[in-house]
Amino acid sequence: MSTFYNLIISGVAFLFKVAALFHPKAKVFVQGRKGLISSVETTFSGKSLSTIWMHCASLGEFEQGRPVLEALKKEFPDYKIVLTFFSPSGYELRKNYAGADYVYYLPWDTSKNSKRFVEAINPSLVIFVKYEFWYHYTKSVHERNIPLISISSIFRPQQLFFKFYGSFYRTILKNFSHFFVQNDSSVKLLRSIKIENVSFAGDTRFDRVSQIANVAGEIPLASRFKNNQKLMVVGSCWPEDFDVIAPLVNEQRLKFIIAPHEISESFISHIKKSIQVKTIRYSEGENVNLDDYYLLIIDNIGMLSKLYRYGEFAFIGGAFGKGLHNILEAGCYGVPIFFGNKNYEKFQEAVDLIKLGGAFEISDYIDLKEKFELLNVPENFQLACDVTREYVQQNKGATEKILIYCRKVLRA
């Protein structure tokens, strides 16, 4: 089975090389790994360093791992932090992250690469975030008797680990020293395949969004735009999300801030053409009287998590397509949350908040309008606000549970 796995890795690597000839993202993905192993070996050669290695697939997983990484950096300043990403969307945005001493792409998961990489950085502790389960890397770490933990991981019955033909994938899980999972069902699933080194810790994202909310500064332009009026923040908006929201915007019953998932002139132009109310881009609003504007389009990156504080409502994009984006960034401000009804069920917080009455899945504009009208009843609105705020508060603490384990390992 490992031979088949190796063929898949080789095949995917080849496809990326082909795609790199046509697609900029694939090109960045491929070029970022050229000569990487040799560069890492040169960097660490002859150095006697104590290191902690954290690996994240992309930016979202990095935000999950970040509270743990920063706490370890603070408590164990003598350890060097090695941070790796699989995806360019994580690496390119965080390659200069000050909380890590070394930031790299993860070299392809081959036997040779994994042995060379692990031997070069020689970590005292390895942390993989959420869905990262690489055969050769976990095997190389395990063979060197290095503690390897999975944090904020979540498991579902349909995953290969739990199929009758999934024995190879179960061997990957057996290379881990401990799993800190998001929910009790993941604990039960792992125990069903005789993996007992598991703890229900929760999701570190609750700690991260709370950190962000606590230090989020004022955004004067957004404050001027709101001007004490009711407002909905639409975060990570895709075209499919916008088509549902646009009629509500045109009703002019509240103001809207829309942050596109990907900032492109074509999408911004589409938004402007579809909207009948006065609309302005963030980059144009500095010296403008915003009182008569009803839609503010965010045409920059990195501001979204701070914008939710200005909303009475939030609509989070992605669920009509590839998958729902982070709803906890809005939830920590205690606002009712809307999102599409197509692809949200694998996100535990979305399922939980729907059941509790703090979040609402939407099929189309009519559905959105009906549920929005229900929340215009003060008692319903206040209940939804209380639910989302309390849900985030009650689920904080995963970071500290993980740190207890890490401290034992690093002080041993």
CB 53 within 8 A of CB 129: no
| Pair 388, 239 in one domain | yes
Q: What is the CATH number of the domain that holds 284?
A: 3.40.50.2000
Q: What is the pLDDT of residue 37?
A: 95
| 149-162 confidence digits (pLDDT tens) | 999 999 999 999 99
Model's pTM, two decimal places? Answer: 0.86
At 321, the amino acid letter reads G
| Pair 240, 121 in one domain | no
How confident is residue 212, by pLDDT bands cut at 50, 70 and 90?
confident
| 363-408 confidence digits (pLDDT tens) | 999 999 999 999 999 999 999 999 999 999 999 999 999 999 999 9
| 176-195 confidence digits (pLDDT tens) | 999 999 999 999 999 999 99
| Pair 159, 184 in one domain | yes
**What is the percentage of the chain residues whose pLDDT exceeds 70?**
100
Q: Has residue 277 got a pLDDT over 80?
A: yes
| Pair 255, 289 in one domain | yes
How confident is residue 164, by pLDDT bands cut at 50, 70 and 90?
very high
| Pair 97, 221 in one domain | no
Q: What is the CATH number of the domain that holds 117?
A: 3.40.50.11720
| Pair 390, 401 in one domain | no
Count of structural domains within the chain? 2
Contacts 24+ apart (CB under 8 A), 398-401: 398/151, 398/152, 398/180, 398/201, 398/202, 398/203, 398/204, 398/206, 398/207, 399/67, 399/68, 399/71, 399/204, 399/207, 401/180, 401/199, 401/201, 401/202
| 355-365 confidence digits (pLDDT tens) | 999 999 999 99
| Pair 381, 403 in one domain | no
Q: Has residue 213 got a pLDDT over 90?
A: no
CB atoms closer than 10 angstroms to residue 7: 10
3-state secondary structure of 322: coil
| Pair 289, 172 in one domain | no
Q: What is the pLDDT of residue 227?
A: 94
Q: Which domain holds residue 221?
A: 211-394
Angle at which helix 239-250 crosses helix 265-274, to 10 degrees, equals 30
| Pair 149, 31 in one domain | yes
Q: Has residue 216 got a pLDDT over 80?
A: no
CB 319 within 8 A of CB 342: yes
How confident is residue 312, by pLDDT bands cut at 50, 70 and 90?
very high
Q: Has residue 48 got a pLDDT over 90?
A: no
For the purposes of burial, counting CB atoms within 10 Å of the CB of 379, is it exposed (0-12), middle (13-18) or buried (19 or more)?
exposed
Mention every residue, 6+ apart, whose C-beta is less than 8 A from residue 387. Answer: 353, 356, 357, 358
| 49-100 confidence digits (pLDDT tens) | 999 999 999 988 999 999 999 999 999 999 999 999 999 989 998 999 999 9
* Mean pLDDT within 258-285: 94
Q: What is the pLDDT of residue 382?
A: 97
| Pair 242, 376 in one domain | yes
| Pair 164, 107 in one domain | yes
Q: What is the pLDDT of residue 226?
A: 96
Read off the DSSP letter of residue 61.
H
| Pair 182, 324 in one domain | no
The mean predicted confidence, pLDDT, of the chain is 94
Q: What is the pLDDT of residue 215?
A: 80
- What gap in Å lies between CA 129 and CA 62, rounded to an integer? 8
